Amino acid sequence: MKSEFVEQVQLLMEIQQIKHNEQLFGKSNYMWLCSKKVSMIWMSTRDEYRIRQVLNKITPDQQVQIMKQLLTWLDDNPLADVLKIPEVALNLIHNFITNNLIHEANFSRMNSFRNSLRRFSVKSNKILAVPTELGAGDKPRRSVTFNDVPIIYRISK
């Protein structure tokens, strides 16, 4: 199934290249000749290797869903670069892998996690700074108020 997915991505790249050629040169009677010639657009071996590696982590049904999402992305972005297609396919695969990890994660300790968050957020558990007795009461308090018309105060030390 991996090789089929990679071949489908390669076919999408070739179709996108034909669309670009049609937009550049217009539709002519010789367009069939352009489709018969060998395409010079190839997926890089790096992208192909990365796609093959991550395809182990998803099911064939998810591969079909990814291909559908890739097709809708191409419909939404008709002027997208041909070399962008493997990157988008990788991003979609990584999104599916992340969703799989989230759904498979064991959240049995979620309640204790929430309780610990509540315990840490309670005001009584916070460490309050103890004011020193070295004249903390001697200094006047400084405050700022905001009005519609700014008033500038001079603050002296």
Angle made by CA atoms 27, 29, 35, in degrees to the nearest 5: 75
Residue 123, pLDDT score: 53
Domain count, the chain: 1
Mean of per-residue pLDDT scores for the chain: 76
Q: Is residue 25 in some structural domain? A: yes
Q: Is residue 115 in some structural domain? A: no
End-to-end Cα, the chain, rounded Å = 75
Q: 12 is written with which tokens?
A: 């999408």
Q: Is residue 132 in some structural domain? A: no
Q: Is residue 135 in some structural domain? A: no
Q: How far apart are CA 78 and CA 141, in angstroms?
A: 63
Q: Label each residue of 81-130 as H, E or C.
A: CCCHHHHHHHHHHHHHHHHHHHHHCCCCCHHHHHHHHHHHHCHHHCCCCC
Instruction: Tell me the mean pLDDT in the region 50-66.
Output: 89
Q: 81 is written with which tokens?
A: 């670069």
Q: What 3-state DSSP class applies to 26?
A: coil
In this model, does residue 90 exceed pLDDT 90? yes
Q: Is residue 136 in some structural domain? A: no
The parent domain of residue 47 ranges over: 2-104
Q: Is residue 61 in some structural domain? A: yes
% of the chain residues with pLDDT over 90: 12
Instruction: Tell me the mean pLDDT in the region 63-91.
Output: 90
Q: How far apart are CA 157 and CA 155, in angstroms?
A: 7
Is pTM beyond 0.75? Reply is: no
Q: Is residue 124 in some structural domain? A: no
